[in-house]
Structure 1
Amino acid sequence: MKLYPIETGNFKLDGGAMFGVVPKTIWNKTNPADENNLIDIAARCLLIEDGNRLILIDTGMGNKQSDKFFGYYSLWGSHSLDKSLAKYGFHRDDITDVFMTHLHFDHCGGSIQWNKDRTGYEPAFKNAVFWSNENHWQWATEPNVREKASFLKENIIPMQESGQLRFIQRPEEDFLVKSELGFGILFVDGHTEKQMIPHLQYLDKTIVFCADLLATAGHIPIPYVMGYDTRPLLTMPEKTKFMNAAAENNYYLFLQHDAHNEIITVEKTERGVRLKDVFSADEILK
């Protein structure tokens, strides 16, 4: 198995929204805001080369939305999905599987693109199977008012219409289970219904793709919960259990949204679980 970080593009989000009830005087120390109260956010995905399979975890925002839409997110930097794939000698047509942690637009928007004459949409990965789970799919296609703006039909429905959509089989209990793709999945419900958190055994390490369970290194303390979470009081016990396991088992936490810290480890302290070490992806995924 080989792992590659795929940078699909950076953007900005409101710092207050990203940290919920935590005061700016606290979160600004780890995630400094600009003059508009916006903090740096990454859309870092992960590519898994495993035998004949080339699995991409999440796909970023994509590029099919309007300039007005992207204007809300202050895009910055020069990263793109295609450039990141090419860096490692791959093309999107090589991808066999696209695993989506959940279907918010910044995680799955790159899965679907305009067709050639821009009259409709088509899969951006023509040879890939798209993986979600049945509970989350229903949640996303029949969205609640709070999340409706994050579940964009043009990002989601074309996967099903293409015939390329498959569902991960979920156990009765949401413990860590091995998926059809060969890695473990933790199902969590605080951020959104049945978000899937991949756990990969890589050499002698456990690499965890944290998605929105742990957005940035600044979100390590348990009460630091995003305002975007639909069930914050559920996020906290899910996060407590996960962070304790990460500290006890020395997980390497691959941070999807932290623009400045790619992989971290954590440890238990008198104040709870806290940051231990920070690594570049190249140091760990070599």
Structure 2
Amino acid sequence: MELYTINAGLFKLDGGAMFGVVPKSLWQRTNPADENNLCTWATRLLLIVEGKRCILIDTGIGDKQDQKFFSHYHLHGDETLKTSLAKHGFQPDDITDVFLTHLHFDHVGGAIELNESQLTPTFSNAIYWSNRKHWNWAIHPNDREKASFLKENILPIEESGQLKFIEEKDGVAFTRDICVRFAYGHTDAMMLPQIQYKNHTILYMADLLPSIGHIPLPYVMSYDMFPLRTLKEKKHLLNEAFEKNYILFLEHDPIHECCTLRQTAKGIRVDKTFSLADFNNQVNT
């Protein structure tokens, strides 16, 4: 198995929304805001090469929305989904599986592209993986969450015939070395890939833990549909990750790719931060 970090660009979101009830005087220590109270976030994806399969975890925002849409999110940075794939020697046609943790626009937008006014899958040879419960949640959205579920990102996946569903069962096997954890606080039935890699466990945190700034338990996003459930899920998985020495892969942290945890008098906190490339170099020496 080989793992590659795929950087699909940076964007901005309101800092208050990203940290919920936590005062700005606290959260700005790790995530400083600009003059408009916007913080920078990554769309950091993971490419897993396992045997003949090339599995891409999430797809970022993409580039097919109009200027008005993008004006809210201030996309920037030198890398895109395709340029980052190419940097590691891969093209979209090489991808065999697209694993979608959930269907919010910043996770699924790059799954579909606009070609001559037609919406088509970016990865023509891939199976797109969701789960039935979350899929139904996304295509029949509630009024609070529907702005994150864009039909142009979602419906063409099903129309292409490339959509398949993973069984909604915590710990279900996806491949020999990847199982799926489920979380329900951010949105219904979000999936977190848990990967056995070089005698370590890597847990892809998606929006259960967007950044190291969200490690303290009360630091829960206002975007979460069920924040008390997020609190419970985060506490459970952070305790498990600490006890079993997991590596956490951070999808939205603008600086830190991966981290480990330590126990302190104030609870679980970040221990070490490092890139996936640094980890690979360490275990290979």
TM-score by length of 1: 0.96
Distance 1:168 1:275 in 2: 31
1:253 aligns with 2:248: yes
Question: Is contact 2:133–2:168 with CA below 8 Å preserved after alignment?
Answer: no
Q: 2:101 matched to which residue of 1?
A: 101
Structure 2 counterpart SS, 1:253: strand
How many Å separate the matches in 1 of 2:251 and 2:215? Answer: 14
Q: Does 1:244 align with 2:239?
A: yes
Count, aligned residues: 281
Residues 118-155 of structure 1 deviation map (CA, whole Å, 9 limit, x = unaligned): 1x211010000000000000000000001100000000
Does the 8 Å CA contact 2:44/2:251 hold for their aligned counterparts?
Answer: yes
Pair 1:69–1:5, CA change in 2 (3 A): same
Structure-2 separation of matches of 1:177 and 1:284:
26
> Which runs of no fewer than 5 residues in structure 2 stay unpaired?
none
How far, CA to CA, are the matches of 2:239 and 2:82 in structure 1? 36
Distance 1:56 1:185 in 2: 14
Give TM-score, length-normalised by structure 2: 0.97
Q: What's the offset of the Cα at 1:177? A: 2.6
The within-5 A match list for 1:78-117 is 78-115=78-115, 117=116
How far apart are 1:204 and its partner, in Å? Answer: 1.3
The runs of at least 4 aligned residues of structure 1 exceeding 4 Å deviation read: none
Q: Distance in 1 between matches of 2:44 and 2:59?
A: 8
Report 1:1-286 matches (<5 A): 1-115=1-115, 117-118=116-117, 120-171=118-169, 175-180=170-175, 182-286=177-281
CA RMSD of aligned residues (A): 1.0
AA at the equivalent of 1:76: H
Contact between 1:141 and 1:151, CA under 8 Å: does it hold in 2? yes
Would the aligned equivalents of 1:8 and 1:44 in 2 still touch at CA under 8 Å? yes
Report the Cα offset of residue 278 of structure 1: 0.6
| Separation (CA, whole Å) in 2 of partners of 1:260 and 1:279 | 10
% same residue: 55
Q: CA deviation at 1:285?
A: 3.7
Q: Structure 1: where are the runs of 5+ without partners? A: none
